Amino acid sequence: MTEVILHVYDVTNSGSAKTNNTIVQINKIFKDGIGLGGIFHSAVQVYGDEEWSFGFCEQGSGVFSCPSSKNPMYTYRECIVLGNTNFSIFKVNQILRELSREWPGDSYDLLSKNCNHFCDEFCERLGVPKLPAWVNRFANAGDAAMEVAGNTALRLRQAKTEIVSASKVAYRFLMGINANSAVTTESPSNSSRGSPRFQSTWLKSLVSIGNKPSNSELENEGEDTLQQRQQPQPTEPLRQSSRQDT
């Protein structure tokens, strides 16, 4: 049985002194002042003087070790005893070999797979409590926010697709109603033709039309009148004067 110790650092490897000082101040306010959390690097020490952590590299495993509390990339803050592991040094080395294969350096992600996530996994396999929540709270909050944003965007896209599909269905439905209405209005089998009101109106029109002369009769009558007008009228004989010449 041996102690498992967590080493915590302020992340001050930005390359800018101003940025590094800002991070230190943020950690003092949010961790020391409020107890909420901050921007931290962590590593786990078990059996010996080395601490184990995880970081980015283009090739090979991202798991690495360095002398405990002596990582030159960060500013050391504190150590926390997480508990005791019952595993032997041989078993711990076996766990580290497995983690080295499972955590390649190019899989590093600041929000979802960073050094603090690695230490959580390592502690779980050693059978000791995980890291205090404040160590990785900012990364977890950022990862949750990214996940929520991604899910929201996906739901908006799905809703947009459903709205477009529903609009297309409604449009086709309305077009079908309009087409059926046009066919019904122009069709000889219109149901209104069978109604008594329509039949009465249609019969009255038919009777009134039957009382009028046909078009051919009007044409013949017109020709006879024209011929009568063109015939010469007979002239009356001149009457002789009643006075006789003497």
Rounded to 10 degrees, what is the CA torsion of 228, 230, 231, 233? 100
Cα angle for residues 86, 88, 90 (degrees, 5° grid): 150
Rounded to 10 degrees, what is the CA torsion of 78, 55, 22, 131? -40
Instruction: Judge whether 41 counts as a catalytic residue.
Output: yes
SS3 state of residue 66: strand
Contacts of 92 (CB under 8 A, 6+ apart): 46, 47, 85, 126
Helices (H), 49-136: 89-102, 115-126
Instruction: Judge whether 115 counts as a catalytic residue.
Output: yes
Separation of alpha carbons 190 and 182, rounded Å: 11
Separation of alpha carbons 245 and 236, rounded Å: 24
Of 7, 41, 117, 119, the catalytic one is 41
SS3 state of residue 4: strand
Q: Two tokens at 174?
A: 């309305």
Q: Two tokens at 226?
A: 């024209």
User: Do the Cβ atoms of 130 and 123 come closer than 8 Å?
Assistant: yes
Distances (CA, A) of 228 to 140, 231, 233: 115, 6, 10
Could you tell me which residues are beta bridge partners of residue 8?
A: 42, 78
Of 7, 115, 119, 123, the catalytic one is 115
Active-site residues: which are they? 41, 115
